[in-house]
Amino acid sequence: MVSFKLFGDQIQDCVAQVPPQTIKDIKTAQENVPKFAEVRRASIKDVGVEFQLGVFLGHRKNPINKVGAYIPGGRYPLLASAHMTITIAKVAGVKQAIACTPPIQGKLPNATISAAHLAGADEIFVIGGTEAIAAMAIGTETIKKVDFIAGRGNYFAAEAKRLLFGEI
């Protein structure tokens, strides 16, 4: 049985195959992104006010448990999606972040996997497109249901998110 899930040694093999300068660039981005995310998080204050007698309005920071990060591959792998989804989710206090990214021409997308790993993904799956969106939204034997899906995608991924509205 083939698994979509990557394990530690497979992830380390992917990282080892990425040029050192690319790893350095990924790490630089992933040092900067959380700095600004921390500033943004600190600027959001819990607010509550009794608007009318017995009617309270407000908002509060309440991190969700599990985020699914969709990191596109296809013709143009978007490494920045790892920084902007996983890293920011971790700063926000999300307990678990998983990453899904498609293979590129049947091969592991080493740089994308490296970016997801270095961003702090708790699990990485090599699956893309509508299948990845559905798996994260509904859950499978391997990919457990998430509370929220972050990340870009093509129009098929966007349509999958629309169709699954209410599941996540």
Instruction: Write the pLDDT tens digit of every residue in 76-125.
Output: 778 999 999 999 999 999 999 999 999 998 899 999 999 999 999 999 99
CA distances from 121 to 58, 95, 96, 166 (A): 31, 11, 8, 24
Neighbours of 74 (CB within 10 A): 15
- Residue located via tokens 């596109």: 72
What's the start-to-end Cα distance of the chain, in Å? 28
CB 95 within 8 A of CB 120: no
- For residues 121 and 101, what is the distance between their CA atoms, to the nearest angstrom? 12
Residue 117, phi then psi, degrees to nearest 5: -65, -50
Structure tokens at 156: 């098929």
Say which CATH superfamily domain 5-38+57-163 falls into: Nitrogenase molybdenum iron protein domain (3.40.50.1980)
Q: How confident is the model at residue 2 (pLDDT cuts 50, 70, 90)?
A: low
What 31-39 contacts at long range (C-beta under 8 Å, 24+ apart), as own/partner pairs, is 33/83, 33/84, 33/87, 33/88, 34/87, 34/88, 34/90, 34/91, 37/87, 37/88, 37/91, 37/92, 38/91
Q: 40-69: per-residue pLDDT in tens?
A: 999 989 999 998 999 999 988 888 999 999
Mean pLDDT of the chain: 92
Residue 12 has pLDDT above 70, yes or no: yes
